[in-house]
């Protein structure tokens, strides 16, 4: 057999093999489908060896675990765990891959967002992809979990079945929907999502709660420390000698507010009476997070002491010519207009605003009408 004949014979053999494989569905020439996954939304659940009234446990799966999908039945999914366990799980206890992809996008998009406050979960709580009780959820936060708060949104509160509708006001206009607050949070592992506001407690020292006067502390930030060997404050049986001083921002206990806070208070430590006192207070403002803590030099010192720094804090308020915003109807986010930065310095027990000399402070918006100063002075004179 010549070389040309052998070459032709080889070509015919390969062609015949390809034809037979295509007719028989040869798997060697067909791309293999990639695995499909689902993720466990329940805290923990069991796998079943079959879908039947009577079945045996074939494994366990925990919240957030990725499972390989092997088969489907009505309302059930056959899966394989990372440990190789195989069984059936109720489909309602799982989330598809696209939900996990949305959480990945949240982690990526908000990984560098500034932390506006810290909090802990008051109970087990789900992370949601978007604000709202009926939105996709996946990861469950344990009770007492530490969280970094990134931003707030206010969305309509679900109507309880059978509950009477909200009454219209005197104008006859349809009543505004009741709102509930949600927070975009990041946990210690970097997991990011939205959590219902009533399921978290903002971190604030117990010593300050008694001075809150019925207001909700939105954020508490350490400004400085004061040395008090006789403070009387105990920690694990030992006297605390370095006492922190705080700036706090507060609001009333109400969801859906068009601002993050309407009050600022600085709590200084009285070393003679060994207790906190209000060193600065501002009310009736339209304030927005974050509050920034910094340092600046002491303008009243000379020589080497002039390089010493004092604590400062900065917060933002709405300008007077801007309307008080309402939550975005789609995202629930508050998008205020022009904001004014207000910076203060703590000088011992005095809180002083930092503003260029000769510059009048810009006018600010107020959630409630400000009283007329002349009327206040007149009323004081009438009392005396």
By percentage, how much of the chain surpasses pLDDT 70?
Answer: 83
Which pLDDT does position 381 carry in this prediction?
57
Tokens linked to 117: 């406050």
Architecture of the domain defined by 37-95: Roll (2.30)
Tokens linked to 158: 């679900």
Task: Give the number of other Cβ atoms within 10 Å of residue 289's Cβ.
Answer: 21
Query: pLDDT tens-digit profile of 323-359?
Result: 999 999 999 999 999 999 999 999 999 999 998 888 8
C-alpha dist (Å) from residue 144 to 83, 114, 312: 29, 22, 31
Identify which of 254, 251, 258, 250 has the alpha carbon closest to the alpha carbon of residue 334: 258
Establish whether the linkage from the previous residue to 107 is cis, with ω within 30° of 0.
no
Which pLDDT does position 176 carry in this prediction?
77
Task: Give the number of other Cβ atoms within 10 Å of residue 78's Cβ.
Answer: 19
Distance CA 349, CA 346 (A): 7
Distance CA 130, CA 194 (A): 6
Which pLDDT does position 236 carry in this prediction?
81
List strand residue ranges (DSSP E) for 74-215, in order.
Answer: 76-80, 86-90, 94-96, 117-121, 125-128, 137-141, 146-156, 179-187, 192-196, 200-202
At 177, the pLDDT band (50, 70, 90 cuts) reads: confident
Beta bridge partners of 46: 60
Which pLDDT does position 299 carry in this prediction?
63
Which pLDDT does position 23 carry in this prediction?
45
Which pLDDT does position 161 carry in this prediction?
78
Burial code of 195-215, b = ≥16 C-beta within 10 A, e = fewer? Answer: bbbebbebebeeebeeeeeeb
Record the pTM. 0.82
Distance CA 115, CA 122 (A): 19
At 57, the pLDDT band (50, 70, 90 cuts) reads: very high
Tokens linked to 85: 């366990």
Query: pLDDT tens-digit profile of 11-49?
Result: 555 555 554 544 444 544 444 457 899 999 999 999 999
Distance CA 179, CA 157 (A): 5
- Work out whether the CA dihedral 86, 105, 75, 55 comes out positive or negative: positive
Which pLDDT does position 357 carry in this prediction?
84
Which pLDDT does position 278 carry in this prediction?
94
Mean pLDDT of the region 55-80: 95
Which pLDDT does position 13 carry in this prediction?
56
Query: pLDDT tens-digit profile of 91-123?
Result: 999 999 999 999 999 999 999 999 999 999 999
Architecture of the domain defined by 110-158+178-203: Roll (2.30)
Q: What angle do CA 219, 285, 337 make, to 5 degrees?
A: 95
Identify which of 347, 324, 320, 319 has the alpha carbon closest to the alpha carbon of residue 335: 324
Burial code of 303-331, b = ≥16 C-beta within 10 A, e = fewer? Answer: eeeeeeebbbbebbbbbeeeeebebeeee
Q: Coil, strand or helix: which one is 116?
A: coil
The distance from CA 268 to its chain's CA centroid, rounded to whole angstroms, is 29
Q: What is the mean pLDDT of the chain?
A: 87
Read out DSSP for 288-327?
EEEEEEEEEE-TT--GGGGG-EEEEEEEEEEBTTSPPP--
Tokens linked to 305: 């002491």
Contact 50, 65 (CB under 8 A): no
Which pLDDT does position 336 carry in this prediction?
96
**Where, residue-wise, is CATH 2.30.30.40 in the chain?**
37-95, 110-158+178-203
Element (H, E) at 72: strand 66-73
- Is residue 106 exposed (0-12), middle (13-18) or buried (19+ Cβ within 10 Å)? buried
Query: pLDDT tens-digit profile of 302-320?
Result: 555 556 789 999 999 999 9
Which pLDDT does position 24 carry in this prediction?
47
């Amino acid at each position: 057999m010549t070389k040309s004949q052998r070459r032709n014979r080889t070509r015919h053999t390969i062609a015949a093999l390809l034809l037979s494989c295509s007719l028989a569905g040869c798997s060697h020439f067909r791309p293999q489908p990639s695995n499909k996954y689902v993720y466990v939304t329940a805290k923990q659940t069991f796998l079943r060896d079959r879908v039947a009234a009577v079945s045996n446990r074939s494994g366990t799966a925990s919240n957030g675990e990725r499972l390989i999908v092997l088969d489907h039945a009505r309302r059930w999914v056959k899966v394989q765990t990372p440990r190789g366990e195989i069984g059936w799980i109720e489909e309602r206890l799982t989330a598809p891959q696209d939900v996990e992809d949305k959480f990945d996008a949240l982690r990526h998009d908000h990984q560098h967002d500034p932390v506006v406050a810290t909090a802990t979960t008051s109970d087990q709580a789900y992370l949601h992809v978007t604000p709202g009780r009926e939105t996709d959820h996946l990861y469950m936060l344990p009770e007492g979990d530490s969280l970094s708060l990134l931003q707030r949104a206010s969305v309509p509160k679900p109507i309880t079945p059978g509950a009477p509708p909200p009454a219209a006001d005197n104008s006859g206009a349809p009543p505004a929907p009741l709102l509930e607050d949600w927070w975009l949070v990041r946990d210690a592992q970097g997991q990011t999502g939205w959590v219902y506001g009533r399921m978290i407690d903002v971190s604030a020292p117990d010593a300050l709660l008694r001075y809150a006067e019925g207001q909700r502390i939105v954020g508490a930030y350490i400004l400085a420390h004061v040395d008090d060997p006789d403070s009387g404050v105990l920690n694990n049986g030992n006297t605390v000698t370095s006492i922190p001083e705080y700036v706090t921002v507060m609001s009333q206990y109400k969801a859906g507010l068009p601002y993050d806070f309407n009050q600022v208070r600085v709590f200084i430590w009285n070393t003679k009476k060994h207790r906190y006192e209000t060193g600065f207070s501002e009310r009736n403002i339209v304030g927005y997070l974050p509050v920034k803590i910094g340092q600046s030099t002491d303008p009243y010192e000379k020589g080497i002491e002039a390089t010493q720094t004092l604590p400062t804090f900065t917060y933002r308020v709405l300008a007077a010519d801007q309307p008080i915003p309402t939550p975005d109807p789609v995202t629930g986010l508050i998008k205020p207009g022009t904001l004014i930065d207000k910076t203060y310095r703590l000088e011992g027990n005095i809180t002083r605003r930092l503003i260029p000399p000769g510059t009048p402070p810009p006018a600010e918006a107020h959630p409630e009408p400000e009283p007329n100063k002349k009327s206040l002075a007149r009323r004081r004179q009438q009392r005396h």
